[in-house]
Chain A
C-alpha cells in the first residue's frame, strides 16, 4: 500500500520511553510459596514495581532478576487462557488479572499454588485430573441439520445462556475453591463446578440430543454440590455457575428421577427431537 513515510520513529520510541519514565515506582514485598511435591515454604522477595502492574508482572520480574527457576504456569497474560491460577492473599485468582494496586499494600503479597490439586513445583500444580474428567462427559451429539446445505437455524436468545457457559477459560479456580474437592477430596466421585458448567452447556445446547442426566446423578455426583456459590464468586469470567448451570441441572435430575409423569413427557419429546 502506498503510504507516505512516517519517518523519524525515534520520536515514537521517545514518546514510549517518556511514558515509561512517568510511571510511578514502589517497592513491595512478596511471599511466594516455593518447594516441590507439596513440601516447601514461603520465600520473601522485595521487588521494585511499576504503576499498573498485575501480580504476574511482579512474579516475572522476580523470576528474571532474583529466581530464574521460580516455577509459574502462564500463557497469554490477558485473562484469556486461564493458565496462571493461584491463591493470592488466600483468594483464588488469575495472577494476570489481579492488579497490585487492588491489594493491601501494608503487608506482603502472599502467592500460593492452588490447593485442590497435587503440587508440582512452586506455583505449579498438576491439573491433569480435570482433563481426565472432561473426557468422561458424553460429547456433543447434534440433531440432523435443519437445512439441505447441512446447517442449522438457532435464535440468538436460545443460545445466550450456553454462550455464557462457553466463556469458560478452564482456569479451574472454581474447582480449587469448591469445598467438595478442596476440603473433602471427592475427586473420584464429583466432577466439580467446571464440568457441571460444561455438562450444562451441552445439555442446554439447542442442537444436542444426548442425555447426560443419569451420569450427572450417578458417576458425576451432582448431589454433592450444596450450592454455597463459592465457585460463582471466584469465576474470572463472571459465569453465574451455580444459578444458571448447576441449579437447572439439579432440577433436571429431580425431574428425571423423582417425577415419573414429567419423565415420560421428556422421553417422548426427546425422541421427537432426534427424529427431526
Chain B
C-alpha cells in the first residue's frame, strides 16, 4: 500500500501551539528561518488558556526586595533540589524581560497604583511575584502571542495531530501526522523540530487537563530515542471542583488563596495550621491574623499555610477527608466569602479579582463564592517530568529535536511552584525557538525515509480495519485512567504501582485490538484510538519511575517510604526506549551546582 499525503517543508517545525510553542515559533521566525506551527486544536485554544493565577517574574514591582536570586532559591526549594539548576537560574533571570516583552506586544496586566505591572502572592514564592490579569492570565498570554505571531509569517497548521517523528540517521528530519477535519495525512519535512505539546493529565481520571493532554510530545520523543526524566513527579493541584460529579477536576485557581481564601474542614477548622513543614516554618504565619495581613500586602507578615507548596496542601486535604473531617462531597471547604469580615466591599472585590471563579461556580455548581464556601479536592494538574533537555539550548539527546514548556523536564524538579509554568513557557519557548533556528541554519538539508512514513500511515489506519472489534477506544482509555488514578495517584505504594504496571501491559494489548467505525473525517473515536499509544507510554514511564523512587519528595509521595531520603537527591530517574523496544530506567547524576548558585541557596535559607 502507498499512503497518500501532502508534504510541507519548513526550516523549523514547532509541534504544539500553546504559550511555549507560540513563543518558540515567534523567536525562530524572527531569526529569518521558515517556521511551521502545528496545533492539535484551533489556534489560541491550547491548554495555556486555562492557566489562571499568573506568571512568576522577579520584577520587584510590589516588593522591591525581590530579585532573580530569591526566585531561583524559591524554585529550587520548591523542586526539592532535583531541578536542573541551570534552567532554574536562566528562568529566574530572564522571566522579567519576557513579561515586559508581552506588554510590548499588547498584553494588559493588572496595574500597581503607580501604573506598573501588578504582582500577586502565590504558594512557595517569598514575595508577590505573579504578573496577572485577574484570574485569566493564561488567556492573556496566549492571545497576546497568537495576535503577535500571526503577523510574523508563521505557517499555522490548525487541528493537526502528529503521529510520529521522522529521522534521518540520528537526526530528526520532520514529522508525520493527519489533519483532523478531513483525516488526510500530512508530512512535515524540517531541519529541526521543537516539541511543545504540554502534559499528560488525561492518563488520570480526575484532571484539570483538556482532551489534548495525552503526552504526545513525551511519547514522540521517547519513540525517537530521547530520554524522559523525572516522570514520577506529577503535580496534583490541591483545589479542583468536586461537585457536581461532572465538573470534578476543573481547576480552582490558587489565586483564591492568594487573595485571602482559607481551607477549612467539616468542623470549620483551618487545618493547614496543624502541619507546617520544618523547612517552611520560618516563612509561614503561625496565626490567621498574620496570614491575612500577608495576603493584603503587609511586607512584615509571613504567608498563611494555605500558600505552602501544592504537593503538601494536596496531601493535607486528602488526610482531612480520610480522617472523616471532609466536606459532604469528599473534599474540604475553600472559603473566600469570609473576607467580608475584613473588607467593606468584599463582594465586588472578589468578583473583580476572581471573575472566572465566580462565574465558574455560579454557572456549574450554583454556588455564589462571595456568599458561601466552595467544596474542593485535589486534581491531576501538571507533570514536572518530561523530555530531558540541555538547559541553555533546550535540545534533547536527539540532534535537532528540541523541547520546551510542560513536555520538557528540568526547571521544576520534584514540584512546580504555581506561576512558574507560564514563565517557563516564555523563557524556554524563546530559547528553544532561538536554538532550533540556529540548528536549522547550521545544519544542511534532510532526507525523509519513505519507509518510516509508510509504516506510520499503516499503523494509523489499522483501527479502521478492526471496525468489527468488540472493543472501542473509549473503554481502554477509561480503564487506563482508572488504573492510574487508583494506583499511581497522590499517595503511592509498591504493590499498587506494580499492579498498575501489570495493568498497563494488558492495556497495551487491548489498545492494539481496538477498532473504530466511520470514516476519517473528524472522527473522535479514531483520534482517541491513536492517542492511546502515547497515554500508555507516559503511564508506564510514570509508574516505572515512581516504583524506583523509594522515598517521598515533592509531588511523589509513598505510603511505604513516607520520608525523604537524601541518597535520592543526587540523581534523576531517566527512561529511554531500549534496543528491544522495552522501557529502560537509569539514574542520571545531578551535576554539581556552581559555587555562585550554592551561595545563593545558602543566603536564602
Q: Which residues of A does B touch, CB under 8 Å?
A: 1-9, 11-13, 15-16, 18-20, 23, 36, 50-54, 57, 63-65, 68-83, 97, 99, 120-122, 124, 126-128, 131, 134-135, 139-140, 142, 145, 149-156, 159, 162-163, 166-167, 169-170, 202, 205, 207-208
Contact = CB atoms under 8 A, between A and B. Distances in A.
Contact of A139 (B148, B329, B517, B526): B148
B315 A6 contact: yes
30 contacts: A1-B280, A1-B312, A1-B415, A3-B315, A5-B491, A6-B316, A9-B318, A12-B318, A13-B486, A15-B326, A16-B330, A16-B377, A19-B329, A51-B244, A68-B516, A68-B517, A68-B518, A69-B516, A72-B524, A75-B46, A76-B47, A81-B41, A82-B45, A83-B42, A124-B181, A135-B151, A154-B108, A154-B111, A166-B133, A166-B143
A122 B523 CA distance: 10
Interface in B267-310: 275, 277-280, 308-309
Given A152-B103, A156-B110, 15 more contacts: A3-B562, A5-B559, A6-B491, A15-B326, A16-B330, A19-B328, A64-B474, A68-B517, A69-B516, A69-B517, A76-B49, A97-B363, A120-B522, A142-B104, A154-B108
Contacts of A63: 474, 524-525
A230 B513 CA distance: 49
B516 A134 contact: no
Given A50-B244, A52-B247, A79-B363, A4 B275 contact: yes
Nearest to A18: B330
Nearest to B330: A15
A54 B80 CA distance: 40
Interface in B145-180: 147-148, 150-151, 156, 158
**Closest 10 A-B residue pairs measured CB to CB?**
A52-B244, A68-B525, A69-B518, A153-B115, A6-B319, A15-B330, A140-B106, A64-B474, A71-B522, A11-B322
Contacts of B246: 50, 52-54, 57
B181 A120 contact: yes
A128 B179 CA distance: 14
B45 A68 contact: no
Q: Give the secondary structure class of B's interface.
A: loop
B106 to A, nearest CB: 4
Interface string B219-253: 00000000000000000000000111111001100
Contacts of A4: 275, 562
Contacts of A52: 243-247, 364-365
A96 to B, nearest CB: 9
A23 B243 CA distance: 10
Contacts of A167: 136, 139, 355
B360 A78 contact: yes
B574 interface: no
B332 to A, nearest CB: 11
